[in-house]
Structure 1
């Protein structure tokens, strides 16, 4: 390259960076409303997300039962993903989210009522978790696709990352409150406040304005099965999206179950009780909050593929560190790192898909990604629950961390067109309907 080219490149303005750039999605009123309502609602959800595994472990003393929570929570989304994706592409996403969040609120109040009425059997709790999971499965494709409707494309990276941030900030706040509630007042208040928290996001959705008509432009008119098949054919031709799905499986099976297994560590390893359990889970959220400026585009020159690459490597190391923690304080610090890596990886692959996918297929492709993720969560929960009962929590989680580290190193080498740098592929501006299979 000649000197003239080098001079021209040197004179190019540096890409924007810093905290103001990372939070640029907050310039938009609709997004701020949605973000604040979601933060309050998800904080309430984490009251229940911690309380259910806690009371199940108290009832059964089994890590496998704790792993069953993931099965009942996420398995409905695996079967309802195609329906949820079709709803996201055919109807106004805000309306779909409003209705499904209303259903989740009803399920939350039913759980509170069941506890009040003395229906305190493990299967009753899991059935109500499953009812909420049905509405969640229908909700998630529209929820994640709605983020792109609230901001211009140039602010999408910030919006997706900040959406992940609010979820993980709720992960920090909710468990800390839950630990105090469980210690002082018992599970009933945690379930009740979870139900109340849904009114925040419902109110926020009611105040959002200017998103257009009742249905998205170019909404598909074919049946759900045909729409889903079209999305699958589209994904097969997009290596970057395939890589994101592979990483989703890795996180679901190996990385996510630690969020439930903190119950086992708190009770059987560190003997801390409900308050200590809340702090363990809060540490995961604190780590995500600390990592947010990086994954929101706040630092110059950090690509999505690089963020995901090193997030996976450090994730595996941090899991092993937590498993081998010599004391409670070291365990808290290890979970801060785990939470930061979780945000970096999940937000990175989610942002990558949102930036790559053709707009007309966004809801269905996001539904496919969610289905892969929700299929992985229960597999990971059951597998790690079984291994924990068999080998003990420290040995089981240390082995899982080693497998994650090895998997990350293999992904860095790549498998043909499935390379981590494909996460930086450009937006698909023209996505004609793919030819039929065969």
Structure 2
């Protein structure tokens, strides 16, 4: 199975019909989403003011391409390092409190950066260290924030809510850099850092005011390490999620050159100041807002695959224009194209990732997606800086544009839409017997792995169909928490088959049952429908025991 959600499995015509029924601003009619969206707009504006200040300050402290590009690396690297742990924590703990603590950390680090800059106590490595610290807060915040969106709007508004989040981010990108350039020119970079710290407080107050209804579960909370392992198994067993991640890293690796090289392009090749740098970043934001507003109409005409490829073409054109630019007008046009490309590609890919991930693992799946995305963004920005040192900024931008075009064309055949859902047969899924009362104590201790199995009798004429069904069923078991899965055929009686898989504990087995989506149950039912016999397929569960320990306990 290539998807976990109905939307991910519907065909392109259905997706376009859904797009036509939702307007760009329809998610704003939901009060909680509207409150957090407005507060996020203020916070993101502050972040862009801070980013503008950090990039510009580094051109004074250490004006080499590699050091300037390391500012971007320092802000993105924490997401690469912490996205998966942050996603696991966001799925385990209260998401609202988690977001408040993350915003509070970023506010404190922003205030410290402001004070040290005002006292002239900041050097290039200190700037990178505090940029990295703010990035830690962003890394802890991001998976939880993205996983929160499906809680704020109904499913039919989810795609537009994600697009609207991106539009808000890019409105901030339009306002923030220009505002940052003005603040820097008027009061210095320390004022830009102070403005950022104050903006974090706006979002903290909105999160405090948000009355979240946390989902309840009859099972205990997952352990941190097992939660991370479950998240990795889910992504590993989801072909569509892996495709989304691959398409995103290919796009962002080449596009990252802009983030690493734009300050040097403005300062040295164009010979302009911080106001122009802020205006070019603002032009990128304007392009992104325009691209976001156009997405509703684009989704009626293009599939997700087509939209990402169109964004790839726009990004390549933008990078080539920047590489050729010797005047602000061509650079500004390139940044408009780049902004439109960025929002179309990232919003489409992110929406797909959120839609195919079920609620129980959503923050972890998004964390892994962001780990890959931002890790490649940091790597791409660093390599672009190295290439700029070696051959010049304009050649690095030209090479990135051409490379992005070639690579994007090469992966275009990897589809972002899953196959259409097949109707489930009217067959119940195999159910094991209830546990024996005398084993209740062992099960309550939650120690020892659990081996699960289902036995089938298959007509030899259905062998090919059964193997195909079991290939999909393996993905269901692995996504739901299996440590491993095997299929066996009886060598004496080829009509008899057995599937076995193991989970970490009895509690994980119970969670496995809760994690099954309707599509998963349909896949299990299709496999069970191929069983021939007077009784349904027999399901069993076995608790692992150490013979020596068991002997000592009963001696």
Residue 137 (structure 2) aligns with = 135
**Aligned counterpart in structure 2 of residue 56 of structure 1, from 55, 58, 64:** 58
**Aligned counterpart in structure 2 of residue 422 of structure 1, from 417, 420, 433:** 417
- Check the 8 A contact 1:56/1:65 in 2, yes or no: yes
Gaps in structure 1 of 5+ consecutive residues: 1-11
The structure in which a higher percent of residues are strand is 2
Residue 483 (structure 2) aligns with = 436
CA positional deviation for 1:124: 1.0
**Aligned counterpart in structure 2 of residue 121 of structure 1, from 120, 123, 133:** 123
Instruction: Please show how residues 114-263 of structure 1 align to structure 2 within 5 Å.
Output: 114-209=116-211, 211-213=212-214, 217=217, 221-263=221-263
Residue 292 (structure 2) aligns with = 292
Q: Which is further off, 301-310 or 106-115?
A: 301-310
Runs of 4+ in 1 over 4 A off after TM superposition: 16-20, 215-220, 296-299, 423-426
Question: Structure 2 vs 1, CA of residues 224 and 398 (structure 1 numbering), >3 Å: closer, same or farther?
Answer: same
Question: Structure 2 vs 1, CA of residues 263 and 78 (structure 1 numbering), >3 Å: closer, same or farther?
Answer: same
Question: Structure 2 vs 1, CA of residues 50 and 32 (structure 1 numbering), >3 Å: closer, same or farther?
Answer: same
- Check the 8 A contact 1:89/1:220 in 2, yes or no: no
Question: Structure 2 vs 1, CA of residues 208 and 329 (structure 1 numbering), >3 Å: closer, same or farther?
Answer: same
How far apart in 2 are the matches of 1:311 and 1:220?
A: 44
How far apart in 2 are the matches of 1:28 and 1:298?
A: 24
* CA deviation vs aligned residue, 1:232-254 (integer Å, no higher than 9, x gap): 22212222211221123223321
Residue 272 (1) aligns with residue 272 (2): yes
Residue 320 (structure 1) aligns with = 320
How far apart in 1 are the matches of 2:314 and 2:74?
A: 30
SS of structure 2 residue aligned to 1:422: coil
State the number of aligned residues: 417
CA positional deviation for 1:77: 2.4
Instruction: Please show how residues 329-340 of structure 1 align to structure 2 within 5 Å.
Output: 329-340=329-340
Give TM-score scaled by structure 2 length. 0.71
**Which is higher, the Rg of structure 1 or of structure 2?**
2
SS of structure 2 residue aligned to 1:22: coil
Question: Structure 2 vs 1, CA of residues 244 and 86 (structure 1 numbering), >3 Å: closer, same or farther?
Answer: same
Question: Structure 2 vs 1, CA of residues 220 and 295 (structure 1 numbering), >3 Å: closer, same or farther?
Answer: farther
RMSD: 2.3
Question: Structure 2 vs 1, CA of residues 304 and 294 (structure 1 numbering), >3 Å: closer, same or farther?
Answer: farther
- Check the 8 A contact 2:260/2:384 in 1, yes or no: no
CA positional deviation for 1:37: 0.3
How far apart in 2 are the matches of 1:330 and 1:249?
A: 27
CA positional deviation for 1:206: 2.1
Instruction: Please show how residues 32-111 of structure 1 align to structure 2 within 5 Å.
Output: 32-111=34-113
How far apart in 2 are the matches of 1:202 and 1:176?
A: 24
Q: Which is further off, 124-133 or 65-74?
A: 65-74
Structure ranking higher on relative contact order (CA contacts 8 Å, 6+ apart) = 1
* CA deviation vs aligned residue, 1:266-322 (integer Å, no higher than 9, x gap): 101111111111111111111100011233567523322221121112211221122
Gaps in structure 2 of 5+ consecutive residues: 1-13, 422-471, 486-555
How far apart in 2 are the matches of 1:192 and 1:424?
A: 50
The structure in which a higher percent of residues are helix is 1
How far apart in 2 are the matches of 1:220 and 1:371?
A: 27
Question: Structure 2 vs 1, CA of residues 286 and 107 (structure 1 numbering), >3 Å: closer, same or farther?
Answer: same
How far apart in 2 are the matches of 1:423 and 1:273?
A: 48
SS of structure 2 residue aligned to 1:120: coil
CA positional deviation for 1:141: 0.8
* CA deviation vs aligned residue, 1:396-421 (integer Å, no higher than 9, x gap): 11001100000111112x3xxxx134
Question: Structure 2 vs 1, CA of residues 371 and 342 (structure 1 numbering), >3 Å: closer, same or farther?
Answer: same
How far apart in 1 are the matches of 2:130 and 2:197?
A: 13
How far apart in 2 are the matches of 1:140 and 1:425?
A: 31
- Check the 8 A contact 1:89/1:219 in 2, yes or no: no
SS of structure 1 residue aligned to 2:221: coil
- Check the 8 A contact 1:291/1:340 in 2, yes or no: yes
Give TM-score scaled by structure 1 length. 0.89
* CA deviation vs aligned residue, 1:176-199 (integer Å, no higher than 9, x gap): 011112222211110110111111
Residue 490 (structure 2) aligns with = none
